[in-house]
Structures are given as structure tokens and as C-alpha cells.
Amino acid sequence: MITSLTIKNYALIEHITINLEKGFTVITGETGAGKSILIDAFNLVLGERTSAEVVRTGAEKAFVEINVKINNNQLNEFFTQFEIEKTDELIIRREITLKGQSRCFINDSPVTLTVLKELGDLLVDLHGQHDHQMLLRSNTHLSFLDTFAETEKLLTNYKTSYKEINSLLVDKKELQLKQHDLKAKKNLYEFQIREIDGVNPTLNEEVELNTELNLFSNSEKLHEITNTINSLLYSKEQSASALIYKAKKEIDLLNQIDPEVASQLKEIDNAFAIINDVASVAKKYQEKLHFSPMRLEDIRERLGVLTHLKKKYMLQIPAIIEYRIKIGEEIKLLENFDDEINLINKKIESSRNTITQNSTKLSDLRMQSSKKLEKLVSSSLADVGIANSKFVVNNNFQVSDSLPEHDLYISRGKEFINLKTTGIDNIEFYISTNIGEEPKPLNRVASGGEISRIMLILKSILANGENVPLLIFDEIDVGVSGRIAQSVGKKLKELSKTHQVITITHLPQIASLADTHYVVEKSSDKLSTTSRLIKLTEDERVHEVAKLMSGEKVSKSSLETARTLIQAK
């Protein structure tokens, strides 16, 4: 249960801390006093979206904090999934700054808004002022039924099989489209393969040919250069080699006279050897040079063929080779398409058998639960002033006598039932509020007041199967009064026996049944406006319930009536 709520600098609230009790808690107050702010604050700490506008004027940030006492193992899976240390008490806090930055904490450890929202959904079911309008949208009815039927495991199995068959169907469609595309391109690919193979380019061929062409084109110049190098270094009469040799002889004579000086000139031997080596390399290179007009023509012709191929495909030779490999694989694939499609068809058939079983089990559970829900809601409607009513859970399968154009279906006999992400069932609530009238869609026959009461009945029934400890109702009593309001109050009171229930109301019949009663008051000075929450004593409760009946001027008779209502609970 939620043991305390602290709100600071949130909208009109400067700072309040309240200890929340077990049972039935009622909050009342004049319109505009700030009752809805409390609901918004709860939404904030439970992970709903918000903005910087909620920060009270003059403050740097707003924060809302709740303390939660855990009485069972309901959160074990949550603690494990998000690696949060398990404790018997939780402190959940949300902060919003003036810049709109949000920070969330569980036991002072920062968490993401997604984690906070998931925890909030496990702890609190908050019914806002307009949430009963969900019942006017038939697409929400299935979720109500699934919650009641506890279909989570079967629904998970179904969704897994739905995902599998849908994935297989997508793969098959892509394979068929590819087959069709390849058939259209088959002749082109075969021509291109013949054309590329006719040229038969190799990976580095173009670079090697250009290198060879460059050598042939410059063979005369290369011969001249190497001849000059050899002449200057070795073969000429006054070549470098001859001059160094003469110098070497002179150094030998010097050595005979002054060995110390000659030793410093001994590097001349290395110079003589290096020059002779360089000259030898130039000579050998020159001897290898040859010029063949026929080879030159062959090179130019081959490069022309390669250039033509590059221009036609608008690719370089390595890319053309890669493309040839790719289209070759595509042609081979085309030859195996029938086998591939037969294989995937077998997988689809197996997957369809699985999803048929899963969808049937899920649908059967929903049908069984529909009957139970119909009886529970129909019998409870009289308790909230909708007598002689009949509640029906209608299920219209989307059926066709011929094979659907798409493949997301299961077959039952000669019928084909379309598959959806949630199963084969199209659930919609019907109601009849008068004897002799056939049930019709809820959104066509029920009034606003009736819708809110039907929502209360559904919440009451679903709460018995839920582990959510706190139920919050913001003006669930909209559109009702008098005896019916008393019935609605009793239904809320009954819920509070198994859940912590907080209700914002303006009806004395409901307020009189509270175990704990708070009133919201708004006060202003020249600088600011502030809302505060006050816990009422027994005498104050009597006065507040009397105010709800007669307005600001409380009469003695209204006080007596209020006291009687409270004592009668």
C-alpha cells in the first residue's frame, strides 16, 4: 500500500505531506481548489509525461514522492528484471526542473522514466475524470476482457506464433518478388555474363598492362639514361670510377709516407665499390631493355577492350569482376527458387498449425470468460442503479468463405478467419438497459452517467483478479446522484476491503462512507495562491458532508442528515 505522499512546489501546492490509510479515503473540495492537482501529482510520480509548467512560480524544481509498503512478492519479477535491490518498502520520487528536465528515483537510485512507469502500473490503477470514455471505444474492450480472463500466458504464446508466421510470409513474399525480378532480368544477366567472360578481365591486369606500356613507350629514353649513367660512372675515360681509382693510387703513395693521414682517407675504397655497383646495375638494366612493336600493339588493344568494358558498365575492373560474381550467383539462385519456396511453404504450414492451436486456445478462454463477465456485470449493474439491464460480450470473427488475399488467416472447416496481432477475436461490449430491448453497442445506448457506473463495475470485477494495491478514482460519480450515488459509494467501499481506494468526489453519499476524509482548500494573498490538504476530524467530516449537501450555508437539518449518513456506513 501507499503509506505517504509528499508534494513540493507542484502547481498551486507549496508543500504537503499526508499519511495514507488503508481502506476508503475520500478527498473533497470546491471546484478549482486543487483536487485535480493531486491526481496530476500522482500521475507524475507514476511515470506519466509532464512539462516544466508544473513547477510552482518562484521555485527551481517540483518533486513528488510516495512511500510504498510491499506486503507480498508481487514485485519480485520487476526487481529481477531491472536489477533493483528488493526491499519491503520503496521510496519513489520524481523531480521536474524549470528547464523541463526530469529525474526519477527508486530508493534514491536513479532510474529511467520507462522503469518508473512500469513500476507505477504495478502499484496504482488511476481512473481519471475522462477515463470512463475508454468504454466508448470498442477497441479497448478486448483489453478489459483479457485482464479479467488472465490471458497473459496464452496471449504471449499467440503473439510469438503470430510473429513467426508473419515473418515467414514476409520472407516468402520477398522470395517471390525476387524470383519475379530475376526472371525478368535472366536474359540480361546471361548476356552480361557472356560479355564479361568474353573479355575475362583479371584483378590487377589493367595496372600491369599500363606499367608495361609505360616501359615500352619510354624504352629509347630509358636506354639513353642508363647508358649515360654507365658512361659517367664507369666506361668513359674520365669516368668517376677511373678518377677515383687514380685518387686511390695517390692515397696508397701517401700511406707509404704518412700512414696516419692515409688512414683518414680509407673510405675511398667504399666509394669506389659503390660507384662500380651502381654502374653495373645501370648496365644490366640497359641490357634487359627491348622494344617489340607487336607486343606494344597487343597491350594497346587489350587496354582498349578493358576501357570499353568500363565505359559500358560504368565501373572499374575490380567492380566489374565483383558484379560478374554477383549475377552469376543470382542465376544459380533462380535455378533453386522452386526448392526454396517449397521449403518455406512447409514452414508456413507448420507455423499455421501452431497459430491455429494457440489462437483457438486463446479464443476459447475468452469465450468462457465472456460468459462469466456477462453474468458478473449484469448482476452488479442493478447495484449502481441500472436495473433490468443485460450486458453482453459480443465476438465477431472476421470470416470469409473464400481464401483471403493475404495469408494471415486460419481455416475452420470451409471458413477462413483473419488473424490479428491480438488473436482472432473482435470483442465489443453490448448492453440493454430496458426489458424487451435487444442489446446494442455500448457507445450507442449508454449515457455518460451509465458509462461511468459500468466502468466502476468493471474496475470492481477486475480488481479482484489484480495485484494492483491502490485504486484511485477521480470523480467516478460523474452523472449520478441520490440513491444511485449511495450505490456507487457502497461499491467503492466494498472495493476498499481488498484494496487501498482513494476517491475524489463531490457527492455527500460517497463522502459519508469514507474511512479517512481529506478536504482541499485554496488560499490567496497578494503574492501567491496555495492549495493545501487537510485531514478532517469526525466533527469536521460531518460539517464537510453537510456542505456537500446544502452549500456554504450549513443548516442544522443538513448537519443531522450528514451525521446520519456517516453513522450509517
Domains and CATH numbers, the chain: 1-129+467-535 (3.40.50.300), 181-332 (no CATH)
Examine the pLDDT at 310 and tell me if it is beyond 90: yes
The pLDDT tens digits of the residues spanning 337-346 come to: 888 889 999 9
- Assign residue 252 a region (left: φ > 0; alpha: ψ between -120 and 50; beta: otherwise): alpha
d(CA 373, CA 379): 10
pLDDT at 51: 87
% of residues, the chain, pLDDT over 70: 94
Q: How crowded is residue 30: how many other Cβ atoms within 10 Å of its Cβ?
A: 14
> What tens digit of pLDDT does each residue of 25-68 get?
999 988 777 788 888 888 899 888 888 889 998 899 999 999 99
What would the pLDDT profile of 335-369 be if each residue is shown by its tens digit?
888 888 899 999 999 999 999 999 999 999 999 99
pLDDT at 292: 67
Cβ atoms of 132 and 452 closer than 8 Å: yes
pLDDT digit string (tens) for 236-273? 878 888 888 888 888 788 778 777 776 777 788 888 88
Q: What is residue 74's predicted lDDT score, i.e. its pLDDT? A: 66
Angstrom distance (rounded) from CA 39 to CA 18: 14
pLDDT at 552: 74
Angle at Cα 5 formed by Cα 21 and Cα 116, nearest 5°? 115
Give CA–CA dist 328/337, Å, rounded. Answer: 15
- Residue among 182, 173, 188 nearest 333 (CA): 182
DSSP letter for each residue of 387-413: TT-EEEEEE---EESS--SSS-EEEET
Average pLDDT over residues 201-230: 82
Q: What is the pLDDT of residues 150-177, one digit of tens each?
A: 999 999 999 999 999 999 999 999 988 8
539 touches 566 (CB < 8 A): no
Please give the Cα distance from 229 to 221 (Å, whole number).
12
**What is the per-residue pLDDT for 326?**
92
pLDDT value at position 356?
95
User: Are 33 and 522 contacting, i.e. CB atoms less than 8 angstroms apart?
Assistant: yes
The pLDDT value given to residue 430: 93
Global model pTM greater than 0.75: no
Give the residue-averaged pLDDT of 281-301.
Answer: 78
- Burial degree of 440 (CB within 10 A; 0-12, 13-18, 19+): middle
pLDDT over threshold 80, residue 123: yes
Burial 330-344 (b: 16+ CB within 10 A, else e): eeeebeebeebeeeb
Provide mean pLDDT across the span 94-109.
92
For 480-519, the pLDDT digits (tens) are 777 788 888 888 898 888 888 999 888 899 999 999 999 9
Let me know how long the chain is. 569
